[in-house]
């Protein structure tokens, strides 16, 4: 049991807690699901990029899926070797591509013909051969929230099959490109297996046709997206996930690269916030807390559901909204939830806050970002200091009076 009250007192609120054992267990369950096959679990750094989290994952042998050169640097700093790092994302600056090539990472995921050209030019300037993979958009509806759907032609990600073929041919001809991988990622918080299966089958067929023309793809990158339980949704079991993918790869000898983010860290995170007071507005009951949308954006951004609990309180439950102090009506953590009556100082836990939590935080309303604490082997350790007012303003330059 986690002593939320003690931790809230020791580190103050709002606060993020990460259970490192849970992170480890999630990683192992996925790694084991692909046992017997060559596989690389490349953790999607964007989900939670705290260096201590990355270091813990590095010690378990994970790779990293990065979407900026900053994330690549974080991964390296945490001890993830360059040959386990992939670089994805729909827009990469020249400097980022150059640095990725110099760092000799596993491969760069290309998302357009224009990008292929850019990477080829930069590799030529550096006299290097760039290992690349192409992100294919299989035009599959992942049946998730539209903001986190990425595998439809209407989304900005990847290229169509025909374009991909053209790109592979161009890459094969080039002296500066080495097409080693193929990639797809159809969305996030996936809870249905069927769309993943369909996408994988489409991409596997493309691999077969590429093999026929001597384009030897080695890495089959299935992206991330495995969903977790926020409420009572059914989720995909790692074993079923692996079996579904492997079934589409009959006769192909490929290394599977998987890029889970949320699945690894989501469940392992808790957001603690303190009750400031309650108020009524007509029939509506509000619990006002010291955490806000600047600390945990998911409810405001995606209307995402997170389980919440008032620690140590029982008794009659009546519907309430849990809202933050930020000056936006969208600043809420929970709506219309049966909750016991609260007093100032009570601690509320927001569950499943380990992924896309702190990393999406901001200083909106000049609010310092929260501290982060690791729970590891029975002890708690600060892994990121709470920001101060001075931290927030330190890069601002005052306009001088003339």
Ligand X SMILES: *Cc1c(COP(=O)(O)O)cnc(C)c1O
Instruction: Tell whether residue 263 is a contact of ligand X (CB under 6 A).
Output: yes
For the segment 308-337, give every residue that binds ligand X (CB under 6 A).
none
Instruction: Tell whether residue 31 is a contact of ligand X (CB under 6 A).
Output: no
User: Cα torsion for 166, 169, 173, 178, to the nearest 10°?
Assistant: 110
With CB under 6 A as the contact rule, the residue among 224, 291, 299, 368 that binds ligand X is: 224
Distance CA 85, CA 40 (A): 10
Give the orientation angle of helix 94-103 with respect to helix 113-126, to 10 degrees: 60
Instruction: Tell whether residue 46 is a contact of ligand X (CB under 6 A).
Output: yes
Residue with tokens 């955490």: 291
For the segment 95-154, give every residue that binds ligand X (CB under 6 A).
none
Count of CB atoms situated within 10 Å of the CB of 28: 13
CB of 156 to ligand X, least distance (A): 11
Residues 223 and 188: beta-carbon distance below 8 Å: no
Smaller CB distance to ligand X: residue 74 or 262?
A: 262
Our answer to whether residue 66 is catalytic in this structure is: no
Instruction: Tell whether residue 354 is a contact of ligand X (CB under 6 A).
Output: no
CB of 226 to ligand X, least distance (A): 6
Distance CA 237, CA 249 (A): 19
For residue 161, which of 137, 196, 187, 186 has the smallest C-alpha distance? Answer: 137
Strand 371-376 with 317-323, pairing: unpaired
Site string for ligand X, 194-223 (x = CB under 6 A): -----------------------------x
Smaller CB distance to ligand X: residue 264 or 289?
A: 264
Q: Which residues contact 24 (CB under 8 A, 6 or more apart)?
A: 56, 60
With CB under 6 A as the contact rule, the residue among 26, 188, 342, 361 that binds ligand X is: 188
Smaller CB distance to ligand X: residue 272 or 355?
A: 355
Q: Which residues contact 238 (CB under 8 A, 6 or more apart)?
A: 29, 30, 32, 33, 226
Instruction: Tell whether residue 185 is a contact of ligand X (CB under 6 A).
Output: yes
Q: Which of 327, 397, 399, 400 is catalytic?
A: 327
With CB under 6 A as the contact rule, the residue among 142, 181, 260, 291 that binds ligand X is: 260
Instruction: Tell whether residue 291 is a contact of ligand X (CB under 6 A).
Output: no
List of residues contacting ligand X (CB under 6 A): 44, 46-47, 65, 88, 185, 188, 223-226, 259-263, 355
């Amino acid at each position: 049991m986690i002593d939320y009250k003690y931790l809230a007192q020791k580190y103050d609120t709002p606060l993020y807690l990460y259970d490192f054992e849970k992170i480890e267990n999630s990683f192992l369950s996925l790694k084991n699901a692909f046992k017997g096959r060559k596989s690389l679990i490349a953790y999607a750094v964007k989900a939670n990029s705290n260096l201590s989290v990355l270091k813990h994952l590095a010690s378990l042998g994970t790779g990293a899926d990065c979407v900026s050169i900053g994330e690549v640097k974080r991964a390296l700093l945490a001890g993830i070797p360059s040959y386990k790092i992939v670089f994805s994302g729909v827009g990469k600056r020249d400097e980022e591509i150059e640095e990725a090539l110099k760092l000799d990472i596993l491969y760069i995921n290309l998302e357009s013909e224009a990008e292929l050209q850019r990477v080829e030019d930069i590799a030529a300037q550096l006299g290097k051969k760039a290992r690349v993979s192409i992100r294919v958009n299989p035009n599959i509806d992942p049946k998730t929230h539209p903001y986190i759907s990425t595998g439809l032609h209407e989304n900005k990600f990847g290229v169509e099959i025909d374009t991909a073929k053209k790109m592979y041919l161009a890459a094969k001809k080039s002296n500066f490109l080495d097409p080693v991988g193929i990639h797809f990622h159809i969305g996030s918080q996936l809870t249905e297996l069927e769309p993943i299966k369909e996408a994988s089958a489409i991409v596997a067929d493309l691999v077969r046709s590429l093999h026929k023309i001597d384009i030897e793809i080695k890495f089959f990158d299935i992206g991330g997206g495995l969903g977790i339980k926020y409420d009572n949704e059914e989720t995909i079991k790692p074993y079923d996930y692996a079996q579904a993918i492997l079934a589409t790869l009959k006769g192909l000898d490929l290394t599977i690269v998987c890029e889970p983010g949320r699945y690894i860290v989501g469940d392992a995170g808790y957001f603690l916030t303190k009750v400031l007071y309650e108020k009524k507005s007509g029939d509506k009951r509000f619990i006002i807390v010291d955490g806000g949308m600047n600390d945990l954006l998911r409810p405001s951004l995606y209307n995402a559901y997170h389980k919440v609990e008032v620690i140590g309180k029982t008794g009659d439950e009546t519907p309430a909204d849990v809202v933050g102090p930020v000056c936006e009506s969208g600043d809420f953590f929970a709506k219309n939830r049966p909750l016991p009556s609260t007093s100032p100082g009570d601690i509320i836990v927001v569950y499943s806050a380990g992924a896309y939590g702190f990393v999406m935080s901001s200083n909106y309303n000049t609010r310092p970002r929260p501290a982060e604490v690791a729970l590891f082997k029975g002890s708690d350790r600060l892994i990121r200091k709470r920001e101060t007012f001075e931290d927030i303003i330190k890069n601002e330059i005052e306009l001088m009076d003339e």
